[in-house]
Structure 1
Amino acid sequence: MYPTKLMQSDGSTITIRYHEPRRIIKLPLDLATLTEAERRRRLEARKPKKKVVIEEDIDDGFDLTNYEHLWKKK
C-alpha cells in the first residue's frame, strides 16, 4: 500500500493508503451541488473545442529594387 493524497471536490485533501503508486487522486465534482451558472460553465468546458482553420493567404508585396543599395559596392 502506498501513501496517496485524495483530493475531494471541495478542495480539501486527505492522505490515504492506495494499492497503486499514485501521487494524487481527484474525486469528481457533484454537479447537483453547483449553481446553474457554474454548472453551465463546467459543461461548456467539457465540450470539444472548435478547431481553428488557418488560411494561408500570403500577400507578397516585396520589391527587391528597394534593397539593392545594401549589396552594391560603391
Structure 2
Amino acid sequence: MKLSQIRTLNAWSAAITKPHRYTYTRTYPTTLVNPDGSSYTIRYYEPRQIITLPLNIWTLSEAERKAKLEMRKPKSRVKYQDDLDDSYDASKYLKYVQKKK
C-alpha cells in the first residue's frame, strides 16, 4: 500500500500559509489607498511605499465634480508691474547733508 499526502485547498489556505509556488517572484509590501481613504497592505512587484488609486469624478455630485476639476487646473500667477517714478532730484536734499571738515 502506497501512502501519499493529499492537500485540501480552500479559500483560507492562501491567507493562512504562504503562496505555494516553485519559483517565487520578488514582491514588496506596499500600502494601497482607496479613493474613500481606506488602506491595506498588498504585495507589489516594484518597491513602492504607497499607491493611491484615482478618484472617479463621475460618481460625485455636480458641485463636488466642479470643485475637483477646478483643483486640477493650473493656478494662474499674478504678475506685478513695477511702476517706478524716475523724477528723483538729488539737489533737493543737499541742504540736509553736512560737509565734514
TM-score, normalised to structure 2, is 0.56
Which residue identity lines up with residue 15 of structure 1 in the other structure?
Answer: T
- 1:42 corresponds to 2:59: no
Deviation string 1:1-59 (CA, Å, 9 cap, x unpaired) is: 11000000100001001111111100000112211110000011111221211112245
Q: CA separation of 1:72/1:37 partners in 2, compared to 1, >3 Å: closer, same or farther?
A: farther
The higher radius of gyration belongs to 2
Q: CA separation of 1:55/1:3 partners in 2, compared to 1, >3 Å: closer, same or farther?
A: same
2:33 paired residue number: 7
1:51 paired residue number: 77
- Greater share of strand residues, 1 or 2? 1
1:28 paired residue number: 54
> Kindly, what percent of the aligned residue pairs are identical?
54
Two-structure CA RMSD over aligned residues (Å): 2.3
TM-score, normalised to structure 1, is 0.74
Q: Which runs of 5+ in 2 are unaligned?
A: 1-26
Q: Which runs of 5+ in 1 are unaligned?
A: none
Deviation beyond 4 Å, 4+ runs, structure 1: none
